[in-house]
């Protein structure tokens, strides 16, 4: 089955689900459009980069981010809320001994507000299945060669829970301001398929 055919089948299934919710009186097209609009307005990897840069320059913020990421996001005017309940959000820090990478093995759950729309490869069945079984090989295909002693932890996102990687701060960036640090952070670094 081609990727385009699978995408059109998924779109048709989503629309049927939307129609059933509307027919049941649980929502309307306007409400659904509003939810999608709120979700995508301002959704950008620049948001995640701001969070990372703040954590790099402010150790107290980093601690709060790792302890309660939802609350730490609010300090920067960001949120994982798309409805009445915010999604559970965790930030996982890379260290010299541990590298984190994200996947949604069921579909393509992803923190859109902080990373922008997900890349097509993140949604692909090949990535979703292989990164769990052979993460080191998949990361190498992205150009990320990790030392043999570095452990890799794969975090599976879900509809209820989202994750973001906190990359290690690059060497030689001590004198950079927060905005300059944020400019170094990529979406792939926030997913864990690249270093920063």
The answer to whether residue 109 is catalytic is yes
Cα distances (angstroms) measured from residue 31 to each of 13, 21, 36, 37, 154:
19, 11, 9, 10, 35
Using DSSP's 3-state secondary structure scheme, residue 193 falls into coil
| Whole-number Å distance between alpha carbons of 107 and 156 | 10
Per annotation, catalytic residue among 28, 107, 120, 129: 107
The answer to whether residue 104 is catalytic is yes
The answer to whether residue 107 is catalytic is yes
- Let me know: does 85 contact 162? Beta carbons within 8 Å: no
Within 3-124, where are the H helices? 3-23, 29-40, 45-57, 59-67, 69-75, 112-115, 120-123
- Let me know: does 42 contact 32? Beta carbons within 8 Å: no
- Let me know: does 128 contact 105? Beta carbons within 8 Å: yes
| Whole-number Å distance between alpha carbons of 134 and 32 | 38
Per annotation, catalytic residue among 44, 81, 108, 124: 108
Active site residues: 104, 107-109
């Amino acid at each position: 089955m081609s990727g385009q055919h699978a995408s059109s089948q998924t779109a048709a299934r989503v629309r049927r689900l939307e129609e059933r919710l509307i027919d049941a009186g649980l929502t309307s097209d306007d409400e659904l459009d509003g939810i999608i609009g709120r979700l995508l307005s301002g959704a950008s990897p620049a948001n995640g980069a701001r969070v990372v840069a703040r954590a790099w320059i402010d150790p107290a913020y980093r601690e709060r981010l790792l302890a309660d990421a939802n609350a730490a996001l609010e300090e920067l005017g960001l949120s994982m809320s798309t409805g009445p309940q915010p999604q559970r959000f965790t930030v996982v820090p890379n260290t010299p001994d541990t590298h984190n990478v994200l996947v949604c093995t069921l579909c393509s759950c992803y923190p859109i507000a902080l990373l922008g729309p997900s890349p097509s490869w993140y949604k692909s069945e090949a990535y979703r299945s292989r990164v769990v079984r052979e993460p080191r090989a998949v990361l190498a295909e992205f150009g990320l060669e990790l030392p043999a002693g570095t452990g890799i932890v794969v975090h599976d996102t879900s509809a209820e829970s989202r994750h973001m990687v906190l990359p290690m701060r690059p060497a030689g960036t001590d004198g950079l301001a927060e905005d300059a640090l944020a400019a170094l952070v990529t979406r792939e670094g926030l997913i864990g398929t690249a270093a920063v």
